[in-house]
Amino acid sequence: MLYLVRHAKAGSRSTWEGDDRERPLTGAGRLQADALATRLSALATGRLVSSPYLRCVQTLQPLAATLGIAVELDERLAEETGFAGALTLLSTLPDGSVLCSHGDVIPDTINALERRGCAFAGAPEWRKASVWVLGREASGAITRAAAWPPPDV
């Protein structure tokens, strides 16, 4: 399995002054990140890869601390990058890897997987701190997916 996480709650884009790449998680977002770490700690046996945007990195930091590994930054998960880079990462990362991205990249990536024949269980989930659980065949093809809702915090 692979885990594709939408970053946790961040401050309002419209009221943030400064570079949007530096917009941090809110208090509620930090609680969501902690809850995600608890939920994923037994499942995350691969790498942690994040968009370089601060809110994505902060979403994975509690999990990284729990596992004692670093969060790797990858521009292919940044906003407005489309799905191609995310698909490449999903096809090359080891099982148990956790990726964190944004509300534009994730739906584009999930839609691209669907066009490639991926089967979905349950309803889609797009809210902040939601997790897409992606199952892969030995060939590397992602053939099944389900979404977890954000943690209750």
> Comparing C-alpha atoms, which of 82, 32, 83 is closest to residue 59?
32
Helix, strand, coil tally for the chain in percent (to 5): 35, 20, 45
Alpha-carbon gap, residue 133 to 145, rounded angstroms? 6
Q: What is the pLDDT along the chain (153 residues), one digit of tens a residue?
A: 999 999 999 988 778 788 888 999 999 999 999 999 999 999 999 999 999 999 999 999 999 999 999 999 999 999 999 999 999 999 999 999 999 999 999 999 999 999 999 999 999 999 999 999 999 998 888 999 999 999 988
**3-state SS, residue 100:** strand
User: Token pair of 9, please?
Assistant: 């709650």
> Comparing C-alpha atoms, which of 95, 121, 6 is closest to residue 56?
6
Q: What is the pLDDT of residue 47?
A: 97
Q: What is the pLDDT of residue 143?
A: 95
Domain boundaries, the chain: 2-121
Residues in the chain: 153
Q: What is the pLDDT of residue 14?
A: 77
User: Token pair of 97, please?
Assistant: 């890897």
Q: What is the pLDDT of residue 55?
A: 97
Q: What is the pLDDT of residue 16?
A: 77
Alpha-carbon gap, residue 17 to 107, rounded angstroms? 27
Q: What is the pLDDT of residue 18?
A: 83
Taking the complete model, does pTM exceed 0.75, yes or no?
A: yes
Q: What is the pLDDT of residue 72?
A: 98
Report domain 2-121's class.
alpha beta
Q: What is the pLDDT of residue 19?
A: 84
Alpha carbon separation from 72 to 47, 61, 116, 148 (Å, rounded): 8, 10, 27, 23
**3-state SS, residue 115:** helix
